[in-house]
Amino acid sequence: MTIQEKQKVEKILIEDINATLLTYKKNSTEEEYRIVKTLTKSPDKKVLALIKKYEIASKTIANIKIELAKQGVQYNKPTNNGIQYEGRISLLNSWDPNFKENRLPKKLEEFRKNRDQKTEDIKRLKRTCIIKLFAKDTEATKLLDFLQKELAKILK
C-alpha cells in the first residue's frame, strides 16, 4: 500500500472508531438514565427503611426549626450535590462536604466503571490500528476485519 492509500484507510479506521464511540456514549448515557430511574423509582428495602427514618427525623427537624424561630434564629441547610430524578431520592453524583463517605449505588458505580473502561479500550484500539497500518504492509481489509472483531469484543 502506498502512503496515500494508508492515509485513506487511516481516515476510514478513525471514522469507524469515532462513530462507534459516539454511538456507545449515547447508548451508555441512555442506559445510565434507565439505571438511575430504576434506583430512584423502585428503591430496595434498606433504602426504603432509611427513607422512613429520614422522614421521621425530618418531622423532628421541622419542630426544632419552629422552636429556633421562636428564639429568633434559623438554620440553613447546605444544598445537596446530586442527581435528582424522583424528587424524594437523590443519588450522590460527586463529593459532598456533608458526608465523609460518598458512594454511588453499586449498580451505577459498576456501570460507570465498565463504561469508562470500554471507552478507553476503544481509544486504545484506534491507536493500535493506526500503528499496525503504518508499521507494516497490512492489507486494509484484514485491518478493517480486525477492527470490527475487536470493537465487537469491547462492546460485548
Residue 84: beta bridge partners?
Answer: 90
What pLDDT score was predicted for residue 106? 77
The position carrying cell 425530618 is 58
The reported pTM is 0.58
* Torsion region of 105: left, alpha or beta (phi above 0 gives left; psi -120 to 50 gives alpha): beta
Q: What is the predicted pLDDT for the residue at 1?
A: 77
Task: Tell me the three cell numbers of residue 11.
Answer: 481516515
**What pLDDT does residue 78 have?**
46
* Residues of the chain with confidence (pLDDT) below 50: 78, 85, 95
Which pLDDT belongs to residue 6? 86
Closest CA to 6 of 143, 133, 127, 129: 133
Mean pLDDT score across all residues of the chain: 80
Q: Give the model confidence (pLDDT) of 53-96 as tens digits.
A: 999 999 998 888 788 777 675 665 545 555 554 555 666 555 45
Q: Can you give the pLDDT at residue 14?
A: 92
Task: Specify the amino acid at residue 71.
Answer: Q
